[in-house]
Structure 1
Amino acid sequence: MKQYEAVIETMEKAGGIATLGFLYREVFKIKACSWNTQTPFASIRRIVQQNKHIYKIKPGLYALEKYRERFNRQGIVPQTEAPASDSFDHAYYQGLLLEIGNMNQWETYVPAQDKNKPFLGKTLGEVAQLTEIHPFTYPSLLERARSIDVLWFNVRGMLSAAFEVEHTTDMQNSLLKFFDLQDFYADFYIVASDKRQPEFCRKLNYSAFSEIRDRVKFLDYSYISKWHTKLSELMALAGV
């Protein structure tokens, strides 16, 4: 089997759409294909960028050309042609954050209202490790935490990191959630397009958020994609 055929077969198994990270972790499991090269990951990148049967949706995400019309109907369109649907983008980055957390051995959680949202052939609920949030605090604060887009917990069931994906919504609401959870030793992140970083800086500078100003970080979509891809590469090298 040729290398490009192995990549296409791996994408087929994933429903015709896959992240670079997924390809890094899965394509080498096809024993009929040999990757006798010192740069196998570069070979995968070359294939997805140049093969006529594959097209790019956004950085780190590729699909098979034969399914283009189906994905278009679902609002999954190339970033260069038109904006993807808000629901796809939001769930997509939630899914990446869940997978990053899983690969880092965190226990991951997604809100109940998001569990059935699709993520590359699965649902977010299938990617998340927890079906219920750990009871790490008082009921009133737990209720607040349950609505955060992605949570990571350590092995002791304590909150380690909280992520809010802000595609189009007002990020001030997310900052208020983080404010309520400021007494916990956790990291807080707003994930959004780099175009929204000035808005993030402006709102974080409100006097009401002075106590968490140094605790909340901004991560743009490109960073999340690269983080997911690089971590997947390391996992593949480790044979995990």
Structure 2
Amino acid sequence: MTQPQAVIDAIESLGGIAPLGKIYQVTLQNLDCTWGTQTPQASIRRIVRHTKGIYVVRKGLYALESHRKQLEANGIVEVTSANANSNEIQQFTHYYYQGLLLKVGELRHLDTFVPNQDKNRMFLQEATLGDLRSLNEIPNYTYSQLVQRSSTIDVIWFNERKMPHSSFEVEHSTDIQNSLLKFCDLQDFNARMVIVADDYRKDEYLRKLNETAFRDLREQKRVSFLSYGELDRQYENALADSQRGFIL
């Protein structure tokens, strides 16, 4: 089997669309294809970018042309300069990165929660966000008003004691200040708080964080910024780690 065909078969088996990290994983499980290199991932990256029949949905996410119409009917549209600010792309991006965060949390053996209002949203062709989360209800880990406040956070990871480990707000187009206000209310918990957004919004994030109202968050370094690209890479790393028998 040729290397491009092995990659196409991997994407096909994943529903016609998949993140790059998942393409690596499934392609390299195909024993009918040999790579003859110590860096097959580099070859796979070249294949997904230059092989006819594969297109880039957004950076780090690839699909088969044979599935394009079906994907578009389900709201999964190729991101272009013309449609990047459309409501359809904004919604897809938001739910896609919520799904990746749920996936990474699972790979790190943490419980995961996504708000009930988002539970029926689809992650690619694979499952709803509600299917991906491990908790159907948010744990009652503290006072009811704070539990209610945190129940609207885009993704939360919980440890084995059902205490918050990390909270993530995905900010594709909405006001970052609203997420920082949520984090202010939850800053007394020993949990990481993260804004996830496109890299170009980092300057906006820093300006908002520099406002007086968020001084405690800033001075105590309670909030971090995670770009979409870095989340893509961390998902790839988490998948790779899950295949290793022993990690130093």
Asked if these proteins are the same fold (TM beyond 0.5), I'd say yes
Q: Contact 2:83–2:89 at 8 Å: present in 1 too? A: no
Q: What is the distance in 1 between the residues matched to 2:80 and 2:156?
A: 27
What does residue 187 of structure 1 align with? 192
1:150 aligns with 2:151: no
Counterpart secondary structure, 2:148? helix
Counterpart secondary structure, 2:83? coil
Deviation at residue 25 of structure 1 after TM alignment: 2.3
Counterpart secondary structure, 1:162? strand
Deviation at residue 78 of structure 1 after TM alignment: 3.3
> Equivalent of 2:129, from 119, 124, 131?
124
Deviation at residue 80 of structure 1 after TM alignment: 5.2
What does residue 50 of structure 1 align with? 50
Matched AA of 1:170: D
Deviation at residue 131 of structure 1 after TM alignment: 1.4
Deviation at residue 237 of structure 1 after TM alignment: 4.6
What does residue 88 of structure 1 align with? 92
Deviation at residue 81 of structure 1 after TM alignment: 5.7
Runs (5+) with no aligned partner, structure 2: none
Q: Contact 2:56–2:78 at 8 Å: present in 1 too? A: no
Q: Contact 2:156–2:164 at 8 Å: present in 1 too? A: yes
1:14 aligns with 2:9: no
Counterpart secondary structure, 2:28? helix
In structure 2, relative to structure 1, the CA distance for the partners of 1:68 and 1:81 (3 Å cut) is farther
Q: For 1:24-35, list aligned pairs within 5 A.
A: 24-35=24-35
What does residue 215 of structure 1 align with? 222
Matched AA of 1:217: S
1:107 aligns with 2:111: yes
Q: Contact 1:41–1:233 at 8 Å: present in 2 too? A: no
* 1:193-225 deviation digits (Å, cap 9, x = unpaired): 222222211221221111212211111211111
Counterpart secondary structure, 2:195? strand
Counterpart secondary structure, 1:168? coil
Counterpart secondary structure, 2:152? coil
What does residue 181 of structure 2 align with? 176
Percent sequence identity is 46
Q: What is the distance in 1 between the residues matched to 2:64 and 2:169?
A: 30
Matched AA of 2:143: Y
Please tell me the root mean square deviation across aligned C-alpha atoms, in Å.
2.0
* 1:54-112 deviation digits (Å, cap 9, x = unpaired): 11122211010122233344252134563161110000111111111111122111111
Q: What is the distance in 2 between the residues matched to 1:136 and 1:38?
A: 47
> TM-score normalised to the size of structure 2?
0.89
Runs of 4+ in 1 over 6 A off after TM superposition: none
Higher RCO, 1 vs 2 (CA within 8 Å, ≥6 residues apart): 1
Q: Contact 2:7–2:27 at 8 Å: present in 1 too? A: yes
In structure 2, relative to structure 1, the CA distance for the partners of 1:89 and 1:128 (3 Å cut) is same
| Alignment length (residue pairs) | 240
> TM-score normalised to the size of structure 1?
0.91
Q: What is the distance in 2 between the residues matched to 1:233 and 1:76?
A: 28
